[in-house]
């Protein structure tokens, strides 16, 4: 089952890179809990499929204009930990207003059940840098 868990998360990351939100939502268990940094515009705790939809919509609203296709590539490394999958990846963006770039490492930990995401937790190397980047692109 753990290889199936890894494949679910590989598909999730591909869906994010391709902005395929239907496939993104399909990776989540009905009882999922998503935790993202409260300091980010889309941060907080989200519950269930509706919460997963709300989380991805908030993230997309924040990042779509800052991530042309080349910036969406996360260079993810997937680590199989049985009922957990750990992903090392990069958050990237480029500001259309001033050309400033962001490239920060991040780690996500996924608790799995029946090859679906039961819990998701995001850890960023520097949320302050993300906040500064997001502020810097505003006119």
User: Based on the structure, what is the number of domains in the chain?
Assistant: 1
Q: Which tokens go with 126?
A: 């520097």
Distance CA 56, CA 67 (A): 14
Reported confidence tier of residue 139, pLDDT bands at 50, 70, 90: very low
* Predicted pLDDT of residue 138: 65
Contact (CB, 8 A) for 21 and 60: yes
Q: Which parts of 19-91 fold into alpha helices (H)?
A: 21-26, 48-63, 69-72
Kindly calculate the radius of gyration of the chain based on its CA atoms and give it in whole angstroms: 15
* Residue whose structure tokens are 């840098």: 129
DSSP 77-118: EEEEETTEEEEEEEEEEE-TTT--EEEEEEEEEEEEETTEEE
Q: What is the pLDDT of residues 43-87, one digit of tens each?
A: 999 999 999 999 999 999 999 999 999 999 999 999 999 999 999
Domain limits for position 46:
2-136
CATH number where 70 lies: 3.10.450.50
Mention every residue, 6+ apart, whose C-beta is less than 8 A from residue 21: 15, 53, 56, 57, 60
pLDDT at 136: 84
Looking at residue 98, its pLDDT comes to: 85
Q: Which residue has the tokens 């919509």?
A: 57
Q: How many CB atoms neighbour CB 47 within 10 A?
A: 13
């Amino acid at each position: 089952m753990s290889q199936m868990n890894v494949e679910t998360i590989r598909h999730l990351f591909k869906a994010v890179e391709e902005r395929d939100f239907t496939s993104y939502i399909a990776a989540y268990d009905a009882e999922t809990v998503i935790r993202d940094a409260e300091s980010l515009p889309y941060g907080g705790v989200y519950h269930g499929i509706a919460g997963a939809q709300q989380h991805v919509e908030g993230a997309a609203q924040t990042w779509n204009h800052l991530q042309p296709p080349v910036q969406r590539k996360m260079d993810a490394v997937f680590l199989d930990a049985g009922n957990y999958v750990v992903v090392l990846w990069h958050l990237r963006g480029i500001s259309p207003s001033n050309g400033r770039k962001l490239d920060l490492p991040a780690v996500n930990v996924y608790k799995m059940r029946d090859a679906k995401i039961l819990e998701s937790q995001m850890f960023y190397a520097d949320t302050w840098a993300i906040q500064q980047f997001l502020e810097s692109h505003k006119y």
